[in-house]
Structures are given as C-alpha cells and as structure tokens.
C-alpha cells in the first residue's frame, strides 16, 4: 500500500448485482440485503464506504455483458480513487474464472483489494486469491448447469410436449396459445394460407415462380422475413416442411415413433400437392446423381431459366450457326435492343443482327395465330412415391445419427430402424422409373400467354419448336420485318397436327 493510504481510513466501494430484480421484498439477494452485509463488513474493518454501485437486471454469465456491465465498468474507471471493492458474494462479481481473474488482475495493478463477504475472503492475500479461484470455478459450473437445464427444458417443450419454440411463425401460420395453456402453438392464418395456395396453383398450372411472386406482391402480401416476395423466397416456402405441418428442431425434422416426420399443425398442402410442387421446383442438385428424376430436372431447369428477352437462346446466325445474343446497342443517338451474332472477331463470315422488337412481335403474332386456340397440356415427370421415399431415407439417416449419442435408447432406435427399412424395401419393390403424366390445364395458349411473364412466354414458344430459329441477313429498306429472313421450325409444319397436338402444346 502507498504511504498516504496507511494514514487514513480505506475507501471502499460496494458492488451489487442482481440478474432478475424482484424488488426489495426478496430477503436473500435483494439490493438492500447485499448492501447491508457489505456495509456491516466495512464498518467492522473501519473502512469508509464512499459509494454503492448497482447492476440490476444484469446477467453475469457468458451471454451477458460480463465485465462490461455499466456499474462494474464505472468501478474499473475509478480504481485510482478506491482502496477496496466489497461484494456480498463471489458470483455477484463474476460467473466464470476468466472474468474473475481478469478483474482481480486489474484491481491488483491499481493496488485495490477485493473482498467477498459471504465467503469471508480477503483477496489481498495469496490464500484468499486461491480459494476465490476455486469458488469462481464452481460459480462458472453452476451458470453452465442453469443454461443446460434451460436448454433441455425448451427442447422438451418442443420435441415432447408439442409446443412451438420460435418467435416468428412460418408463412401461412400464426402463433396462438397452446391447448394446454402453457407455451405456444401454431394455427393456419386464413389470409396467408389463401395467398400461398394461390401461388402454388399458379406454379402447378405451369406458371413461373417469378410470376407467382409478382402476384403475391401485387396483393400486398409480405413474407415474414423480407419486405417483398422474390422467386427464391417463394420457392423456400412452397417446398418447405412447414406447409405440411411439420416442425424442425436444430435443423432436423421431429420424428414420430415410426421414424417418419410428425404432423404437429394443420397442413396447408396435402402430401400429394407438396410432392407435385417439389417435383416441378426441384433443383438438379437436390436429387441423387445419375437418377432419371435428376436428368429430367436438369433439362427442365435449363429450359425454364429466365431469359433476358422473349427469344433469348432461340435464335441462331445463318452466317456461322452460332447462337445470337440479346443486347442494347447505340444507333443514331438512341439505344436499340437487338439480337446479334455471338461469334467474336472474324469467326463469322457473315454476322447477322436484327431489331429485337421487330422479330419478337412477328414471332408472337405467328405463334398466337397458329397456336392461340390450342389447349395447354403439361407433361410432368414424377414418381408418385418420391415424397415418401425421401421421408423414409431422411428418417433412416437421422435415426442412425441418434444411435451415436451417449444416452441413446438403443432398443427403441433399433426397432424404429427395422420398421423404416421394411418400408424402404416395400417402396424399392415398386417401379423405379418416373411416371410421365400429361395434364390438361383447361387453358388455351392465348390465355396462358396473356398472364405469363417473359420467361413463361419464351417457354410457350420453345414448346412448339423443333429447333432454333435461323436469322438471315436483311436488306435496307422500311423498318419492318421481312418474313423471309426467318426460318422457323414450327412443330406443326412437318407432323400430323391431329396426332401430335398435345406435344405441340406442351409447356416445359
């Protein structure tokens, strides 16, 4: 100690902390009770209490502010004016050894002693510091135990008692009180469910995700975690598990005794509707390699890719046979949309360009004139048991993971695996090839054209072509399209229309 400190009473600051402040009525850890014990100790030592610093409703655990608590931070800033810091109990100061040692070292460098009243510890001595570290370790273990009990309690509420453990419900649902009167549950939100069912109907009828998302935005609907609907946000909802009334915990579906996903809430879609949506919206990477379903999905993914313009990817240059690309190019002081040969440099002996609006308007006019009154058929490649196969495979994988847990119920899990494998064998015995289903949508090509976006209209045109259209060089003259510049391989020109009308009307 410095000489000046030895000739005057020691200046003490009392520190009080309470994680949950219930008022002064709490006889054990209330601020008044803590202060009284600390003042009594200071009086017995002849110390002057110069201040009482409080952190109320402030946690001392790792998830709290730790040493950055407002009150404790103020003490650290005034170490130079203090001789001793008194607290009622060690865990009032720190909940883990690391924080305790850090604070104690700061105090020591400023020649400030720490005193814990409940443990009668004077940390100015080596023995006191040793015992304090042991007690701090126990406080850290107690905090971890409390956190683990809280965590297990939440898990039990979600996995065993059927409560909803989230703060934001999935789209199409709202949070309500659980029937037991404790915790939360989910119920269908009629307005949101109607929106998502309409979006699903549009997709099932052959519309694009982009168009369905635009429809939702126009109705004023908003997703729960974004300002507007986009195609990726909508896809996540349509192919998700929540619309089937299923719940995930820690990224895994909650399973029943049979190993299959439990249905906790009323589903928005039937399993068959969900299967159809997942088949249509499947990304190739979602499916097993070398499977027929993946080959179909890769083809559909390519043809459904959103185009920049109506005929992007459908035109080729007569000079070299390479695809033509769409772009905006300057012409007489204005920017004009054009399709140009994609060959670079001198690789094309006679590169072709054509005004985008002229060729698009012409193709659209011919298409609607010839195919406008044709019915729209959809050819869907599906495996009617694909959804259940995926459920069973996922359940087997998750049950196998559960077997590795130290506290696993081996007998129950083995019984579940046996049931799941039997069901998988039953499904494997069924035909593996996807079933091709032709569906009459009840809509005419012209009506579908009116409600589609650019990508959807491009798919309609593509569906009635046998190959790409070839563009020939034009002649100088009026700004109109010479039909002779285009070779369009329409399906109906070389085939029996009556025999192939469904294929001619197919939408990829």
Last residue of a domain, one of 281, 304, 324: 281
- Both 138 and 263 in a single domain? no
- Both 204 and 146 in a single domain? no
| 407: pLDDT strictly greater than 80 | no
Choose the weakest-confidence range: 26-30, 66-70, 110-114, 226-230.
26-30
Distances (CA, A) of 33 to 16, 19, 59, 257: 10, 15, 18, 52
> Cα(465)–Cα(489) distance, rounded to whole angstroms?
6
The CATH number assigned to the domain holding 97 equals: 3.40.50.1390
- Both 335 and 477 in a single domain? yes
Does a structural domain hold residue 119? yes
Is the separation of the CB atoms in 140 and 95 below 8 Å?
A: yes
Number of domains in the chain: 3
pLDDT digits (tens, 9 = 90+) for 418-457: 888 888 887 777 655 555 556 666 778 888 888 788 888 8
pLDDT digits (tens, 9 = 90+) for 308-355: 688 988 999 999 999 998 888 887 777 888 999 988 666 888 899 999
Enter the pTM of the model. Answer: 0.40
Choose the weakest-confidence range: 171-175, 200-204, 409-413.
409-413
pLDDT of amino acid 103: 87
- Both 359 and 481 in a single domain? yes
- Both 344 and 476 in a single domain? yes
Last residue of a domain, one of 137, 155, 173: 155
Is the separation of the CB atoms in 356 and 338 below 8 Å?
A: yes
What is the per-residue DSSP string for 179-212?
TTSSSEEEEE-HHHHHHHHHHHHHHHTT--HHHH
Last residue of a domain, one of 155, 189, 215: 155
- Both 330 and 249 in a single domain? no
- Both 73 and 187 in a single domain? no
pLDDT digits (tens, 9 = 90+) for 464-489: 888 899 999 987 766 678 889 999 99
- The four Cα atoms 344, 345, 346, 350 give a dihedral, to 10 degrees, of 60
Strands 375-382 and 506-507: parallel
Is the separation of the CB atoms in 218 and 451 below 8 Å?
A: no
Does a structural domain hold residue 319? yes
Question: Can you give the residue range of the structural domain that contains 166?
Answer: 162-281
- Both 45 and 121 in a single domain? yes
Q: Which residue has the tokens 């200071």?
A: 42
Give the DSSP letter of residue 122: E
The CATH number assigned to the domain holding 264 equals: 3.90.1750.20
> Cα(338)–Cα(356) distance, rounded to whole angstroms?
5
Q: What region, left, alpha or beta, does residue 13 occupy, with left being phi > 0 and alpha being psi -120 to 50 degrees?
A: beta
């Amino acid at each position: 100690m410095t000489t000046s400190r030895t000739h005057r009473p020691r200046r003490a600051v009392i520190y009080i902390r309470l994680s949950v402040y219930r008022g002064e009525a709490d006889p054990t850890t209330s601020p008044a009770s803590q202060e009284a014990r600390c003042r009594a100790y200071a009086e017995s030592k002849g110390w002057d209490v110069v201040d009482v610093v409080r952190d109320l409703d402030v946690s001392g655990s790792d998830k709290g502010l730790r040493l950055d608590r407002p009150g404790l931070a103020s003490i650290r800033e005034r170490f130079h004016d203090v001789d001793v810091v008194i607290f009622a109990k060690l865990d009032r100061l720190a909940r883990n050894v690391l924080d305790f040692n850090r604070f104690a070292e700061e105090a020591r460098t400023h020649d400030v002693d720490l005193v814990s009243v409940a443990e009668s510890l004077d940390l100015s001595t080596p023995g006191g510091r040793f015992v304090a570290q042991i007690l701090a370790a126990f406080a850290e273990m107690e905090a971890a135990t409390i956190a683990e009990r809280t965590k297990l309690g939440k898990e039990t509420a979600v996995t065993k008692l059927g409560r909803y453990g989230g703060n934001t419900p999935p789209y199409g649902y709202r949070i309500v009180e659980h029937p037991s009167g404790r915790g939360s549950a989910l119920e269908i939100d009629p307005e949101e469910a109607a929106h998502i069912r309409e979006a699903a109907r549009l997709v099932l009828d052959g519309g694009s995700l982009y168009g369905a998302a635009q429809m939702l935005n126009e109705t004023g609907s908003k997703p729960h975690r974004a300002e507007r609907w986009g195609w990726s946000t909508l896809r996540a909802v349509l192919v998700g598990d929540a619309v089937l009334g299923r719940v995930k915990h820690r990224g895994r579906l909650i399973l029943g005794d049979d190993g299959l996903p439990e249905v906790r809430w009323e589903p928005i879609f039937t399993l068959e509707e969900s299967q159809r949506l997942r088949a249509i919206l499947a990304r190739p990477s979602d499916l097993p390699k070398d499977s027929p379903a993946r080959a179909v999905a890769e083809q559909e993914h390519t043809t459904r890719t959103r185009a920049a313009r109506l005929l992007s990817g459908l035109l080729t240059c007569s000079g070299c046979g390479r695809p033509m690309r769409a772009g905006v190019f300057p012409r007489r002081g204005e920017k004009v949309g054009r399709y140009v040969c994609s060959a670079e440099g001198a690789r094309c002996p006679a590169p072709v360009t054509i005004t985008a609006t002229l060729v698009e308007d012409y193709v659209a006019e011919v298409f609607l004139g010839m195919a406008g009154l044709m019915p729209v058929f959809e050819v869907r490649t599906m495996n009617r048991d694909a959804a259940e196969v995926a459920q069973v495979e996922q359940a087997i994988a998750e049950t196998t993971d559960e077997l590795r847990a130290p506290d696993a119920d081996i007998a129950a899990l083995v019984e579940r695996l046996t049931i799941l494998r039997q069901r998988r064998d039953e499904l494997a015995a069924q035909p593996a090839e996807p079933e091709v289903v032709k569906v009459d949508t009840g809509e005419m090509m012209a009506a579908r054209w009116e409600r589609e976006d650019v990508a959807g209209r491009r798919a309609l045109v593509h569906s009635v072509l046998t190959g790409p259209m070839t563009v020939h060089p034009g002649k100088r003259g009026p700004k109109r399209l010479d039909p002779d510049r285009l070779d369009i391989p329409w399906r109906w020109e070389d085939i029996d229309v009556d025999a192939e009308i469904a294929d001619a009307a197919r939408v990829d």
